[in-house]
Amino acid sequence: MTIEPQFFEARDEVRLAWRELGEGRPVVLLHGLFSSAEVNWIKFGTAARIAAEGFRVIMPDLRVHGSSDAPHDDWHYPPDVLVNDLQDLVAHLHLDDFDLGGFSLGARTSTRAVVAGMKPRRLILGGMGLAGLAGWQRRGQFFKRVIADFETAKRGDDTWLSIQFMKTMKVDRIAAGHLLDSFTDTAPEALAALTMPVLLVCGEQDGDNGSAPELAEALPDARLVTIPGTHMSSVTQPEMGEAMAAFLAA
């Protein structure tokens, strides 16, 4: 399935893309680092499964990703710039009652948006554990090594698979480095802001962002669904869309 992008301008005049599928209640889904809306949500049927339940699935390409622009000037990357972009998309589409979800970086961005005051009815955090929110700096250092080792890594190195994914997705390394510097940690006590029902959906072999059960315990109203796969493969599983669709439609 191919869905043509639509575009809007963020507050700093960067052109950002989004795609839509379905009609009904809006749900905004944010993809993971170095991925895109097409790869994360469309290619493996997750968006179609959710749309089949009567939802308007809105899927932006985060800045530096997919069909969105990747500016090189560092002033385009203030702290939590992806939260700014999400707020701008919500305003552009005049959304006032919607659901929100994301995978990995998308889950981090969704959490940061709620901490900043966004109030979706329901929230989905995929591929995320407590350490992925509270201890981003350690994970961030790994991705900086991915960029640094882009031309020199060898098969078997811990950065190899991420580098191959970046190459496949044609990620701009300069812009990606600036974007990594914009990410901020979420202190565990700040998670009290997540008062809405939250679905945690995580691969059974996915520990990349820490412990999902620990995150479930830290949230006021969370349920955890474990699906097959690792961090990279869980988004390809039909169980991802099934879990998300069931949660949103409940």
Q: Which of 91, 84, 89, 113 is nearest to 12 (CA)?
A: 84
Neighbours of 145 (CB within 10 A): 16
Read off the CATH number of the domain in which 90 is found.
3.40.50.1820
Question: Does 79 have pLDDT greater than 80?
Answer: yes
Whether 202 is in a domain gets the answer yes
Q: What is the mean pLDDT of the chain?
A: 96
Whether 244 is in a domain gets the answer yes
Whether 1 is in a domain gets the answer no
Q: Residue 1: which pLDDT band, with cuts at 50, 70 and 90?
A: confident
Percent of the chain at pLDDT above 90?
A: 95
Q: Which residues contact 117 (CB under 8 A, 6 or more apart)?
A: none
Whether 151 is in a domain gets the answer yes
Q: Which of 30, 21, 89 is nearest to 55 (CA)?
A: 21
CA distance 193 to 148: 36
Give the count of domains, the chain.
1
Instruction: Report in angstroms the alpha-carbon separations of 166 from 176, 206, 215.
Output: 10, 20, 28
CA distance 106 to 124: 10
Neighbours of 180 (CB within 10 A): 20
pLDDT in tens, 129-166: 999 998 877 778 889 999 999 999 999 999 999 999 99
Whether 52 is in a domain gets the answer yes
Percent of the chain at pLDDT above 70?
A: 100
Whether 114 is in a domain gets the answer yes
Helices of type H across the chain = 37, 46-51, 81-92, 105-115, 130-134, 136-148, 160-169, 173-181, 212-218, 238-249
pLDDT in tens, 102-138: 999 999 999 999 999 999 999 999 999 999 998 877 7
Predicted pLDDT of residue 138: 76
Predicted pLDDT of residue 118: 98
- The residue range of the domain holding 63 is 6-249
Q: Which residues contact 164 (CB under 8 A, 6 or more apart)?
A: none
Predicted pLDDT of residue 204: 97
What's the average model confidence in pLDDT over 191-205?
97
What's the average model confidence in pLDDT over 9-35?
98
Predicted pLDDT of residue 139: 79
Predicted pLDDT of residue 199: 98
pLDDT in tens, 36-64: 999 999 999 999 999 999 999 999 999 99
Whether 216 is in a domain gets the answer yes
Q: Residue 80: which pLDDT band, with cuts at 50, 70 and 90?
A: very high
Predicted pLDDT of residue 8: 98
